[in-house]
């Protein structure tokens, strides 16, 4: 079951104070970006965020699961209601993740 666009937009609205939050369709689901850096995925109407030590400090006790079969485990965000906590979590996760590699130019 693919994620609904309504859910994706809700998730992005909940974390909009963390920076420029965007999403992109990927493999039938969605990638979530903060300031151009991918921070997580939305699969089957569930938010999965890349694990970082900084994120674990902000939001203790998160469970982990792969967003799709064969994927590495991500943090599973069950509660999206606390905008402030979600925003802090996304900001710290964003800062802890490496910058995206530059795209190779096509010749």
Structural domain boundaries of the chain? 5-96
Residue 103 dihedral angles phi and psi, to the nearest 5°: -75, 140
At 14 the pLDDT is 97
Q: Distance between CA 91 and CA 49 in Å, rounded?
A: 12
At 2 the pLDDT is 83
The topology under which CATH files domain 5-96 is Yope Regulator; Chain: A, (3.30.1460)
Q: Say how many residues make up the chain.
A: 107
What's the average pLDDT block by block, 10 residues per block, for the chain (107 residues)? 91 96 93 96 97 94 95 95 95 93 77
At 58 the pLDDT is 93
């Amino acid at each position: 079951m693919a994620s609904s666009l309504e859910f994706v937009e809700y998730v992005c609205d909940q974390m909009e104070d963390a920076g420029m939050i965007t999403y992109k369709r990927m493999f039938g689901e969605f990638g979530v970006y903060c300031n151009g850096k991918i921070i997580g995925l939305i699969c089957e109407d569930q938010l999965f965020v890349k694990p970082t030590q900084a994120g674990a400090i902000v939001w203790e006790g998160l469970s982990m699961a792969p967003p799709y079969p064969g994927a590495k485990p991500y943090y599973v965000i069950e509660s999206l209601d606390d905008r402030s906590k979600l925003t802090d979590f996304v900001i710290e996760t964003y800062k802890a993740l490496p910058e995206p590699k530059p795209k190779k130019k096509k010749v």
